[in-house]
Amino acid sequence: MNSMSYLYLINAAMYALVGAALLLVWRRHRSQTFAHHMGCSTLFAALVPVAYLIHTTAPSPFDQLGVPLVLVGAIPNLLFLGSGVMQLAGRRLPRGVAIAIGVAAAAALMAPKVADKLFYWPLCNMLVLGGLGALASRWLWATHALERLVGPLLILLGLNQLLLVLYGEQGIAANIVFGTVLRAAIGTVFMLSALDGALRDTGKLAARFQLLTEHSVQGVVVTDGLRILYANPAVRAIYGMPLGQGNYTVFADLPPESFSDEQLQRQHRLLQQGELDIASWEGRREVAGGRELELRFEAWRVEWDGVGATQILITDDTERNASARALVHQATHDKLTGLPNRAVLMQRLREYCYLADGSLHCTLVVLNIDRFKLFNQSQGHVTGDHVLKAFAAKLKDALGARAELIRLGGDEFAIVDPDEGNARDIAERLKNACVQALAVPGGEYFIDASMGMAVFPDNAGNAEALLRAANAAMYQAKRTPGTALAMAEQRFEQMSSQTLDNEQALRKGIKNNEIYLDYQPKIDATTGKLLGFEALARWVRPGIGWVSPVEFIAIAERTGLIPELGAMLLGQACRQIAVWCAELGDCVPVAVNVSPMQLLNRGFLQIVEQTLIDTAIPPRCLTLEITESAAVDNLDDTRLQLQHLSTLGIDVAMDDFGTGFSSLSMLRQLPLSTVKIDRGLIDPLPAPDAVAVVKAICQLAAALDLQVVAEGIETLEQAVAARDAGCHALQGFFYARALTVADAGEWMRRQQGEAAGLLAT
């Protein structure tokens, strides 16, 4: 092996060492990407002398491998070199420039003759390096003094190619020597720049860490498990101790109530051993000044001064937790009395009913103050609030510590006691508390309360059912005047459930037009002819069957549905009258019952007028029946309403006359056309005393020019007695039950046919 071969090898080895060193620097500091590109460039440059050595010394045909190896080394060398220089200057090598360099280098290296290769390749290399050097000198002149050398060194490396251009093979040795020195110098500059950049980045990170931690409201501690290596100002503010200042602080020297060094060491050990990635815990710590804080800790493994350590983030949750507890208290407690609310009641009942597995008993009392709405109206809500607070305090004192008092809302409370055997004692205590006067600003007041008591599991199997049972018992207790308590029974809950079910069903029934009218005839007491009909409401509830009018009319009045139901039935009756008038040419009067709530509704008269207009029926064909209770309770308003109806041509009859509310002056004041004697006075007929009463009513009606209808006629004897006493019309099962629309129409047709036959004879 000659001296040139050794020179090639030394050149290749030097390039390889410099390139490897640059890559190692980059691997350590990945942000210095220019070191990576310069390292790759230098390693690829190491292939070029190896390729020359193979081409000149290797036996045929292996010497042919030198040319492609030169291409593999030379072109990437230039491209990575250009990219590294651009990145050092904070720029990127344009793709078009990179392609142009690659094409030019390949063309120069593919020259057919060796002499041409030694001319074109160095010339191309010189132009590229010179251009890069000129650009680098311009871009890097304002940077560090070390980086300013890159531009001149690249220019010198480019000028070094003149040795090959001018002297050919005679200049190879000198080119290699100067090139090796210059590439080593360039590599050293890049290496030092990378290290300097890494130091600057490290300084920035340290400054950022200090900026973040020194101004953080959360405490930051770095520890080796035994000592505090670093603590930010927030830690000192939290603990009120000069931690992290001066010498390292040993945990063993700190108050044990402030730092749990045993737990901290255990978490530190788990993190350092890799068993945990992040550790978190929380606890109460007593800090300087005797303050007790609720602290939350999060920790992870870090490196501190080249040694494994643990960084701990400390958050003071004292105020946040206090606010959260305040919000929970606000959401679960009554604002006025401070007592737990309905949500707490259900939670307690579920705890006893679901978590007890049948091994525990629970007593629930639902208590409602009687007529408290009236109290608020008369005394005012401020006094009412004072009464509620005083009553709650009285109940709490009476119950003691075991039973829990809860306000459900308004004037309703609940008492929960897990001791079944204490039920009787609770009842006595509650009754005694209710009979005592409540002293409030403005005086003393006595109140009554209705209470319902239910016991789990005797009266119910779950929390919801237990509350329903106690509620049903409470409503049952309201039927007893004064303070009363009722024990839960299944029938109470069934009644409440059935009542609610009926109310909901009636709403649907009205909406779906399930309620219809049948028509009961009124017969002339003397001739037996049809005088008219009374429209009677009927309801066949889907899935249940026939429902008594007494029941669903009462529901409609209780729930406020009666105006809607009454208007619907009035419309049905008037439309049917219109149909009969169209079919038969006329119609006997049809009486429609009017509820007191309807009669007192300001819009009732407008509804009647509009119905008459819509159906175009003669007013004489419509009779409205009112109860005497409605007239007695609101005589003046009733008189005005009836006078207006009379002006419309509508007759008004008083239903259920004689039930005990009537007065003679009322009959005289109201514009009535008919009175209907209550069936309670008709049932005893033909008893003499009953006949005397009916006769007296008929004489009174005759004096006031009123027609009299006896309802509830079920026997011939009753019919004869009522006729003889002076009743004008009779109505009851003796003549006919309520008829369907078709049957009622047939009655009118038959009567018209009989009348036509008499005229023909």
Which of 250-259, 428-437, 507-516 is predicted least confidently? Answer: 250-259
pLDDT at 612: 93
pLDDT digits (tens, 9 = 90+) for 653-711: 988 887 655 556 677 888 999 999 988 899 999 999 999 999 999 998 999 999 999 99
Please provide the CATH number assigned to the domain covering 3-199.
1.20.1070
Q: What is the mean pLDDT of residues 168-195?
A: 79
Q: What is the mean pLDDT of the chain?
A: 83
* Residue 270 DSSP SS3: helix
Mean pLDDT of 397-418: 86
> pLDDT tier at 115 (50, 70, 90 boundaries)?
low
- 143: which 2 tokens? 């940077």
Select the highest-mean-pLDDT range: 69-83, 348-362, 373-387.
Answer: 373-387
Mean pLDDT computed over 145-160: 80
Looking at the predicted structure, is the pLDDT value of residue 197 above 50?
A: yes
C-alpha dihedral sign at 385, 389, 390, 392: positive
Question: Is pLDDT above 60 for 79?
Answer: yes
pLDDT at residue 761 greater than cutoff 50: no
- Statement: residue 65 has pLDDT above 80: no
Note whether 701 and 672 are within 8 A (CB).
no
pLDDT in the model for residue 462: 80
3-class secondary structure, 339: coil
Does 537 or 476 have the greater pLDDT score?
537
pTM attached to this predicted model: 0.50
584, pLDDT greater than 80 = yes
Residue 687: its pLDDT value, please?
A: 94
| Backbone CA torsion sign across 387, 388, 389, 393 | positive
**In contact, 222 and 304? CB cutoff 8 Å:** yes
Q: For position 207, what pLDDT does the model report? A: 64
* 336 phi/psi in degrees, rounded to 5: -70, -50
pLDDT at 729 over 90: yes
Confidence bin at 322 (pLDDT 50/70/90) = confident
Residue 542: other Cβ atoms inside 10 A: 10
Range list for CATH 3.30.450.20 in the chain:
216-321
Provide CB contacts within 8 A for 366, sequence distance 6+. 408, 412, 413, 414, 451, 452, 467, 470, 471, 473, 474
Least confident interval from 11-25, 456-470, 526-540, 623-637: 623-637
pLDDT at residue 456, as a whole number: 83
Q: Distance between alpha carbon 258 and the CA centroid of its chain, in Å?
A: 41
Question: What residues have CB less than 8 Å from 540, skipping those under 6 apart?
Answer: 514, 546, 547
Which residues lie below 8 Å from residue 646, measured CB to CB, with a gap of 6+? 652, 671
pLDDT at residue 730, as a whole number: 96
Closest CA to 582 of 628, 617, 547: 617
Q: What is the mean pLDDT of residues 741-749?
A: 92
Q: Does pLDDT of 205 surpass 80?
A: no
Residue 413 has pLDDT above 80, yes or no: yes
- pLDDT band, residue 744 (cuts 50/70/90): very high
Helix (H) or strand (E) holding 90: none
261 compared with 715, residue with greater pLDDT: 715
- Where is pLDDT greater, at 411 or 117? 411
- What kind of fold does domain 502-760 have according to CATH? TIM Barrel (3.20.20)
As a whole-number percent, the residues of the chain with pLDDT over 90 amount to 22
Could you tell me where in the chain the CATH 3.30.70.270 domains are found?
335-488
- The residues of the chain that CATH labels 1.20.1070 are 3-199
The H or E element that residue 20 is part of is helix 3-28
| pLDDT per position as a tens digit, 29-63 | 777 787 788 888 888 888 877 777 776 777 777 66
> 486-530 pLDDT, tens per residue?
887 766 545 555 666 778 888 898 889 899 999 999 999 999 999
The pLDDT of residue 518 is: 95
Q: Kindly write down the DSSP assignment for every residue of 211-228, as one continuous string.
A: HHHHT-SSEEEEE-SSEE
DSSP states along 161-191: THHHHHHGGGGHHHHHHHHHHHHHHHHHHHH
pLDDT at 434: 87
500 CB neighbour count, 10 Å cutoff = 10
Q: Which fold has domain 335-488?
A: Alpha-Beta Plaits (3.30.70)
Q: Is the pLDDT assigned to residue 92 strictly greater than 90? A: no
pLDDT of 629 higher than 90: no
How confident is residue 476, by pLDDT bands cut at 50, 70 and 90? confident
Confidence at residue 202, expressed as pLDDT on a 0 to 100 scale = 65
Tell me: the pLDDT tens digits for 349-373?
A: 888 776 555 556 788 899 999 888 8
Distance CA 563, CA 178 (A): 114
pLDDT at 73: 75
**Is pLDDT at 616 greater than 90 in this prediction?**
yes
Span(s) in the chain for CATH 3.20.20.450: 502-760
Residue 756 pLDDT grade (very low, low, confident, very high; cuts 50, 70, 90): low
Q: Token pair for residue 85?
A: 């220089």
Band of residue 534 on the pLDDT scale cut at 50, 70, 90: very high
Residue of higher predicted confidence among 460 and 717: 717
* Per-residue pLDDT tens digits for 256-290: 777 777 788 888 889 999 888 999 988 888 887 77
CATH 3.30.450.20 fits 216-321, yes or no: yes
- Report the C-alpha gap between 719 and 734 in whole angstroms: 8
**Mean pLDDT within 406-426:** 82
- Residue 191, Cβ density class (10 Å: 0-12 exposed, 13-18 middle, ≥19 buried): buried
How sure is the predictor about 574, in pLDDT bands with cuts at 50, 70 and 90? very high
Q: Which residue has the higher pLDDT, 315 or 117?
A: 315
**How does residue 398 score in pLDDT terms, banded at 50, 70 and 90?**
confident
